Amino acid sequence: MDSRDVPAPVRRKDVAVLVPAAGMGVRLGGGTPKALRELAGEPLLVHACRRLAMAPSVAMIVIAAPPGDVDAVRALVPGAVVVPGGATRQQSVAAALAVVPESIEVVLVHDAARALTPPELVEAVAAAVRSGAAAVVPALPVVDTIKRVDAGEHVLETVDRAPLRVIQTPQGFPRATLVRAHAEAVDEHTDDAGMVERLGHKVHCVPGSDLALKITRPLDLLIAESLLAAHPLPVSRS
Ligand code: CTP
Ligand code: MG
Q: How many CB atoms lie within 10 A of CB 53?
A: 16
Q: Which ligand is nearest to the CA of 91?
A: 1
- State pLDDT tens for residues 18-47: 999 999 999 999 999 999 999 999 999 999
Q: Please give the C-alpha separations between residue 158 and each of 30, 148, 149, 218, in angstroms, as whole numbers.
A: 36, 6, 9, 29
C-beta separation of 34 from 98 below 8 A: no
| Mean pLDDT score, 61-79 | 98
Phi, psi of 156 (to 5 degrees): -95, -40
Looking at residue 215, its pLDDT comes to: 98
* Residue 2 clears pLDDT 80, i.e. is over it: no
- State pLDDT tens for residues 142-161: 999 999 999 999 999 999 99
User: Which of 27, 28, 89 has most ligand 1 atoms within 8 Å of its beta carbon, as the pocket-test mutant?
Assistant: 89
- State pLDDT tens for residues 211-238: 999 999 999 999 999 999 999 988 654 4
**Ligand 1 close to Cβ of residue 34 (< 6 A):** yes
**Ligand 1 close to Cβ of residue 82 (< 6 A):** no
> Based on the number of CB atoms within 10 Å of its own CB, is 55 exposed (0-12), middle (13-18) or buried (19 or more)?
buried
Give, in degrees to the nearest 5, the angle at Cα 58 between 53 and 62: 80
